[in-house]
Copies of this chain bind each other. A is one copy, B any other.
Amino acid sequence: MNSLEQQSWQSVHDEVLRRIHTREWKPGDLIPKEVELAEQLGCARATVNRALRELASEGFLDRRRKAGTRVAAHPVRRAKLDIPVIRLEIEGRGQKYAYALLFSERRTPPPEICANLGVTAESDMLHITSLHLADGKPFMFEDRWVSIAATPTILDADLEKISANEWLVLHAPYTRGDIYFSAVNASEAEAKVLRTEPGTSLFLMERTTWENQTGITSARLLFVPGYRKHSAI
């Protein structure tokens, strides 16, 4: 890279990353300011800015006004995790998706759900449990509470045909939420549904989603033994 050829923000991005990788710029180091880099690399400051901004969002740089830009001292790698609808995840593996509604009841929520969603114990809610299958075998067990106040139209949905998971993604898309990943031992009931032994280690995903300040749904997704969630850095 020299100062004569035409530069793109990606080439600036790559060049800066190269200097970090080769330890020319080490963790904690202050790197040249945008105007200097722009001159060095033969491009406009806006181009350098775009490149450095991306690198900062990827966790490689720390940037502060007036103080300048430093190579991140404690590289926090930011993994991107795709959370697709469960049907697409199964079909993406080349397996056949099927779904069974196990249980659906309109009732008031237990204390832990109230705490999760920030609703009162008298809230009108829908409690749904269902099983998602891949190639006919149990893949994931879903235990979900949905606030009827937040999404009243779910009462019209035919949850025998479309899973609550998928219905919610289509009808209350793009909400904010928390996800927790953990590992639990299968209870008697859970083992039976997933056709495994009690005590088997299961991957658990707990999701709570919000629309603005109101809780919409809280779900407990238990995956079949051996399930692995992949992510790339």
Residues of A within 8 A of B (CB): 17, 20-21, 23, 27, 59-60, 74-85, 88, 169-170, 173-185, 199-204, 206, 209, 211, 223, 225-233
Max chain B C-beta neighbours (<10 A), residue from A59, A78, A175, A181:
A181
A230, B173: Cβ atoms under 8 Å?
A: no
Shortest CB distance A205–B (Å): 10
Stoichiometry, copies per complex = 2
A77/B88 contact (C-beta < 8 A), A173-B21, A233-B179 known = no
Q: How far is the CA of A209 from the CA of B175 in the complex (A)?
A: 33
Q: Which residues of B contact A209 (CB under 8 A)?
A: 233
Shortest CB distance A139–B (Å): 14
User: What are 23 A-to-B residue pairs whose CB atoms are below 8 Å?
Assistant: A60-B174, A75-B169, A75-B174, A76-B83, A76-B84, A77-B83, A77-B84, A77-B177, A79-B80, A79-B83, A83-B233, A175-B233, A176-B232, A179-B230, A180-B229, A181-B229, A182-B203, A182-B226, A182-B228, A182-B229, A183-B184, A201-B201, A206-B228
Q: How far is the CA of A74 from the CA of B227 in the complex (A)?
A: 22
A199, B185: Cβ atoms under 8 Å?
A: yes
Q: Which residues of B contact A183 (CB under 8 A)?
A: 182-184, 201-204, 223, 225, 227
List 10 A-B pairs, minimum CB-CB distance, nearest first: A183-B183, A201-B201, A177-B233, A183-B203, A183-B201, A182-B228, A79-B81, A77-B83, A185-B201, A181-B229
Q: Which residues of B contact A225 (CB under 8 A)?
A: 183
Shortest CB distance A18–B (Å): 10
Shortest CB distance A164–B (Å): 15
Q: How far is the CA of A152 from the CA of B204 in the complex (A)?
A: 39
A27, B170: Cβ atoms under 8 Å?
A: yes
Shortest CB distance A117–B (Å): 15
A78, B83: Cβ atoms under 8 Å?
A: yes
Q: How far is the CA of A54 from the CA of B226 in the complex (A)?
A: 35
Q: How far is the CA of A59 from the CA of B233 in the complex (A)?
A: 17
Q: Which residues of B contact A174 (CB under 8 A)?
A: 17, 20-21, 60, 75, 233
